[in-house]
Structure 1
């Protein structure tokens, strides 16, 4: 059959009329058949390739445009990576290590203070709860750093896949558009996962800060704890080296304050991440309409290469964030 012959058009239309609906079928047998093919054939890309072929034969090409789609993609991804790079979260181990310090202080209060007094019980409960809360925050930070390292690398891989699909002066085909849309889906997933991790750690810090404020305990935050330890110094110094107790109080206090300070960076990152998600969704919509309309220029490839280099740098820096302790003075 001569595919360029107009007589073949009805046959082609029939084939496409069968293939396209089948790719979205919910019939068990057809679903099983498609699942069988999927390891070897990307069905959407396969359909796009067929459509590209016949469009090239039967429809005149529109004049491609030099649109900014890849520049916008590069700028959006760069904005996200730069925000990630500036997050100043204490290492997870440093936050987790606050738990034993807090529990130790609670134990000192229990041992030195008069357990029958309500004030003593409140301070002990406050320190125990705050210590446990710092542990939960630390575990969320640990997960953020761990998953974040993987996600940053995946973002770099997706950008590389996009760049390697393109070549100078090529015009995007339907197959290219389908492939790019799939890559945008992956990027969107990775950014969404980052957003979820930011939300989780923000919530953990909020919970810790609520305990810190002391309202539910009827005390004036950590200030009343410090006053309490001053009041038991005369008795406590007979059991403990009190200078060490004071140092523990100071380090525990400043450790919490450093975490609270990091919340602002997390909040900023969360807002930017939401903006980036919206931009990626918009970019997906734009890409779907670029079949035969976008010509790849040198600046497009340069922009994407720049993102790849930035991703590598951010990945290295991110790994270091969870290793280098923040000095508390």
Structure 2
């Protein structure tokens, strides 16, 4: 999952258990290019089912769970799932193409397949509609709402699932409007001098953004507790390796709470994080963070050698678009 729409749906899903009585669920998964040897299914009321891989390379478990929304994660990525009484869920996917490759087969999986496809539609909408002018964006959003409702109505889905999704579509639209406005404000920053910072460096002392003038600067705003942030780390490490020796500085700024400073230091060491590792002074309230209107992480920012903003919401390391942009700048 790589965008705010999916995250919004995930939050909704994880907090909604429709049934009260528990029923048995059989779950198996075969995952290519897996990120982990353990899967977790999580939900409301601290529900957590741990599913280790077996000797045949299959994740398999039989457990009891109330009907409702959950999500599964391999510790790096995550996706929504809907469990019904006596479901027999057989998942196949490729972890390198996480959302795009998810397919559920078996008994009671129609709703889960809908959620998987919906996340792809939502991400596509974000990538396309957010580049449009306000009037066209509003028109596209209204058309999406109509299509979403039609698709949930015509499917043979659990009635309670349908009702919950319709409610979520409304929340989705409201959130989309807010995020579009935020993104529009971020776009207006392009070409202007970036706000500066003076943050603690993991290697000692402090580092100012202004000290890095003369180089392109790719900034990653993240935190140790942020799953999607951690999911971008392997991609960021590959990007850093590819452009090593080029005129670009990769700067990761943690917005962890001050009380978690030691946790941040240990995380950097344990995960062999490269680039310039910094710790913001006031987490979410740090002046640099608020100047960019940051409401969610990870957030990536690209600065030019003169210290001006090239992209206030740059592509993520996992996006091929980033390499295309950097190749053009650093040729």
TM-score range relative to shorter protein: under 0.3
- Pick the structure with more helix per residue: 1
For normalisation by structure 1, the TM-score amounts to 0.23
- Pick the structure with more strand per residue: 2
Quick check: which has more Rg, 1 or 2? 1
Higher relative contact order (CA 8 A, sep 6+): 1
For normalisation by structure 2, the TM-score amounts to 0.23
